[in-house]
C-alpha cells in the first residue's frame, strides 16, 4: 500500500500538536517567532533558565560572593560531567568533565593516547572528520613523525552511514596507536558504527577517540557499553550551552591511571591550594582539568544539560527521527526533481539529527534563505545543512524552511 504524503502546512501543524516534546520549545527564548531557525546544530537556542542562571552567577555569585563563590564553583566541572555522563553519554560517574574547547580536549586525549603507546607510530582517521580534528592530528603527526592513515574514500553521495569496521579494518595493524572518528558526520549526519569500530580497533591493540559534537544531546550514546576509550564533544549545539561554552572530555575509567594528561595545570593537581612543589594529579577524571574553569560558560552548560536530560534522550531521538524523515519526505516531493541531491542517509538508524541537501548554487541559496528569514548553514562546496533540534524545531519550521527553499530554487 503506497501512502501519499500530505504536504500541506496543516499536516505539519498536526504533527506539532501531536508532539510530546512540543512544550519544551516554551522553555527557550524565541525572540522572533517568524524566524525559521534550522541551525541549532551550529548554535543551539538560549534556554530561559540559562538567562536566569547567568544573571544569578553574575550578580549573586561573582558580584556579591566574590572569591567565596569558588566554594560552590570548584566541583562544577565534575558535577556537570557526572550528569552528562549518566544521562546522555552512557558513561559512569567520574568519567567525564567539562573543560576547555573541543579542540584542546581532542589534542590532549590524542596526545595522551599516543604517549601511552610510544612504539606504535600510526593514527587511523577519516578525511570526512570535522576540520579541527584533522588539523590537530596533522600537527601532532608532524611534530612526532607519525603516520596518518586516512580511510579509503567512502561514498560522499547519499552515504549509507558513517564508517564501520569494514572501513577501518584495512588500515589496522600493530603500528596503529589510535583510531579517531566523528560519531556523526558534520556534513552528511551519517552515524559511525561506534561499537564495531571500537571492537576492531581493540583487536588491533589500538585505542579509540570519538568526536561526539554532532551526536551529544540528540542521539543516545553508549560510550561505556560500546567500548569507547576516549571522547570529546561540544556543548553549544544540541546541549544549547551558548557560543564557545566549554566542551566535554571522557576518559574510560580503566584508562585513567594508564594515560597522562599532557597539560599539567593547577586544577588537575591534588591538594590544589597547597600549591606544592611538584605535580601530582588528582585521582579520577578530575586529574584531566587544567586551568581555571570558565564559570559563565559552565553555568550555561549545566542548564543546557539539565534541560536535555529532563526531556530524555529517548524522546529526543524519536522526535529527531520524525523530523528528519519528514524533511526527507518533503525533499522527495519538492526538491529531488529540482536538481537537488540528498546528502544524508535514508536509513534513519544510520542518520543523525540534520539533513544535508546539495545543489551547485547552495551558497547563494543559503544567503537567499537567510534573507527571507530561514537560517540553515552552508557547507562547501555545495551543501545546505538543515539542523533540526528536537527541543526547539517544529515540524512547521521544516515545512516553512523547505517551502521557501523550494520557492527560491524554482
Catalytic residue ranges:
130, 211, 236-237, 385
Q: How many residues bind a copy of itself (CB under 8 A)?
A: 82
Shortest Å distance, C-beta 142 to a copy of itself? 9
How far apart CA 22 and CA 395 sit, in angstroms, is 10
How far apart CA 102 and CA 245 sit, in angstroms, is 10
Q: Write the DSSP string, 146-202.
A: PEEEEPPPPP-SS-SSS--HHHHHTT-STTEEEEEEESB-TTT-BBP-HHHHHHHHH
Interface with a copy of itself includes 12 (CB under 8 A)? Answer: no
Q: Residue 55 or 360: which CB sits closer to a copy of itself? A: 55
Among 97, 102, 177, 303, binds a copy of itself (CB under 8 A): 102
Q: Residue 134 or 341: which CB sits closer to a copy of itself? A: 134
Whether a cis peptide bond, with omega within 30° of 0, leads into 212 is no
Where in 249-308 is the site for a copy of itself (CB under 8 A)? 260-269, 273-279, 290-298, 300
Shortest Å distance, C-beta 350 to a copy of itself? 23
Sign of CA dihedral 255, 257, 261, 266: positive
Select from 95-103, 152-160, 167-175, 251-259 the region that touches a copy of itself (CB under 8 A). Answer: 95-103
- Collapsing DSSP to helix, strand or coil, 141 comes out as helix
Q: Residue 59 or 166: which CB sits closer to a copy of itself? A: 59
Q: What are phi and psi of 320, to 5 degrees?
A: -60, -45
Interface with a copy of itself includes 100 (CB under 8 A)? Answer: yes
Q: Residue 54 or 239: which CB sits closer to a copy of itself? A: 54
Burial of 103-127, coded b for 16+ CB within 10 Å and e otherwise, reads bbbbbbbbbbbbeebeebebbbbbe
Interface with a copy of itself includes 154 (CB under 8 A)? Answer: no
Shortest Å distance, C-beta 366 to a copy of itself? 12
How far apart CA 146 and CA 49 sit, in angstroms, is 46
Where in 109-128 is the site for a copy of itself (CB under 8 A)? 115, 127
Interface with a copy of itself includes 101 (CB under 8 A)? Answer: yes
Where in 24-63 is the site for a copy of itself (CB under 8 A)? 29, 31-32, 35, 37, 39, 42-43, 45-46, 50-51, 54-55, 58-59, 62-63
Where in 129-148 is the site for a copy of itself (CB under 8 A)? 130-132, 134-136, 138-139, 143
Interface with a copy of itself includes 72 (CB under 8 A)? Answer: no
Shortest Å distance, C-beta 287 to a copy of itself? 12
Question: Which helix H or strand E contains 79, and what residues bound it?
Answer: helix 76-84
Q: Residue 135 or 158: which CB sits closer to a copy of itself? A: 135
Beta carbons within 10 angstroms of residue 46's beta carbon: 20
Q: What are phi and psi of 113, to 5 degrees?
A: -65, -40
Interface with a copy of itself includes 233 (CB under 8 A)? Answer: no
Interface with a copy of itself includes 234 (CB under 8 A)? Answer: yes
Q: Which residues contact 396 (CB under 8 A, 6 or more apart)?
A: 9, 12, 13, 16
How far apart CA 81 and CA 77 sit, in angstroms, is 6
Interface with a copy of itself includes 343 (CB under 8 A)? Answer: no
Interface with a copy of itself includes 156 (CB under 8 A)? Answer: no
Select from 166-174, 242-250, 251-259, 331-339 the region that touches a copy of itself (CB under 8 A). Answer: 242-250
- Using left for φ > 0, alpha for ψ between -120 and 50, and beta otherwise, residue 211 falls in beta
Do the Cβ atoms of 283 and 130 come closer than 8 Å?
no
Among 162, 242, 352, 390, binds a copy of itself (CB under 8 A): 242
Among 107, 351, 354, 358, binds a copy of itself (CB under 8 A): 107
Q: Residue 220 or 244: which CB sits closer to a copy of itself? A: 244
Instruction: Look up cell 590544589; give the residue.
Output: 272
Q: Residue 277 or 314: which CB sits closer to a copy of itself? A: 277
Amino acid at each position: 500500500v503506497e501512502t501519499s504524503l500530505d504536504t500541506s502546512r496543516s499536516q505539519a501543524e498536526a504533527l506539532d500538536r501531536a508532539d510530546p516534546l512540543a512544550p519544551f520549545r516554551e522553555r527557550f527564548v524565541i525572540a522572533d517567532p517568524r524566524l525559521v531557525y534550522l541551525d541549532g546544530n551550529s548554535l543551539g537556542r538560549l534556554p530561559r533558565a540559562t538567562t536566569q542562571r547567568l544573571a544569578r552567577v553574575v550578580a549573586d555569585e561573582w558580584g556579591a560572593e566574590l572569591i567565596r563563590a569558588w566554594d560552590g564553583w570548584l566541583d562544577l566541572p565534575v558535577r556537570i560531567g557526572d550528569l552528562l555522563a549518566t544521562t546522555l553519554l552512557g558513561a559512569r560517574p567520574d568519567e567525564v568533565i567539562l573543560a576547555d574547547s573541543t579542540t584542546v580536549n581532542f589534542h590532549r586525549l590524542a596526545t595522551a593516547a599516543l604517549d601511552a603507546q610510544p612504539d606504535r607510530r600510526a593514527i587511523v582517521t577519516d578525511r570526512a572528520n570535522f576540520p579541527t580534528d584533522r588539523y590537530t592530528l596533522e600537527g601532532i603527526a608532524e611534530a612526532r613523525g607519525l603516520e596518518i592513515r586516512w580511510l579509503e574514500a567512502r561514498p560522499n553521495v547519499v552515504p549509507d552511514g558513517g564508517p564501520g569496521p569494514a572501513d577501518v579494518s584495512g588500515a589496522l595493524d600493530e603500528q596503529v596507536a589510535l583510531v579517531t572518528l566523528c560519531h556523526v558526520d558534520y556534513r552528511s549526519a551519517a552515524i559511525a558504527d561506534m561499537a564495531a569500530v571500537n571492537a576492531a580497533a581493540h583487536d588491533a591493540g589500538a585505542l579509540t577517540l570519538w568526536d561526539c559534537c554532532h551526536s551529544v544531546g540528540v542521539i543516545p550514546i553508549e560510550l561505556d557499553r560500546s567500548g569507547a576509550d576516549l571522547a570529546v564533544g561540544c556543548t553549544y549545539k544540541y546541549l544549547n550551552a551558548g557560543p564557545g561554552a566549554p566542551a566535554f572530555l571522557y576518559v574510560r575509567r580503566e584508562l585513567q591511571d594508564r594515560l597522562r594528561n599532557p597539560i599539567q595545570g593547577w586544577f588537575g593537581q591534588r591538594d590544589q591550594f597547597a600549591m606544592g612543589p611538584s605535580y601530582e594529579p588528582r585521582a579520577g577524571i578530575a586529574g584531566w582539568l587544567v586551568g581555571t574553569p570558565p564559570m559563565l560558560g559552565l553555568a550555561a552548560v549545566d542548564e543546557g544539560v539539565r534541560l536535555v536530560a529532563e526531556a530524555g534522550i529517548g524522546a529526543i531521538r524519536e522526535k529527531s527521527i520524525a523530523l528528519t524523515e519528514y524533511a526527507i519526505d518533503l525533499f522527495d516531493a519538492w526538491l529531488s526533481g529540482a536538481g537537488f541531491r540528498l546528502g544524508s542517509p535514508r536509513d534513519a538508524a544510520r542518520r543523525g539529527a540534520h539533513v544535508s541537501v546539495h545543489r551547485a548554487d547552495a551558497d547563494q541559496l543559503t544567503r537567499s534563505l537567510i534573507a527571507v528569514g530561514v537560517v540553515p548553514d552552508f557547507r562547501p562546496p555545495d551543501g545546505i545543512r538543515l539542523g533540526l533540534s528536537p527541543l526547539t524545531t517544529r515540524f512547521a519550521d521544516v515545512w516553512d524552511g523547505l517551502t521557501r527553499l523550494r520557492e527560491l530554487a524554482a
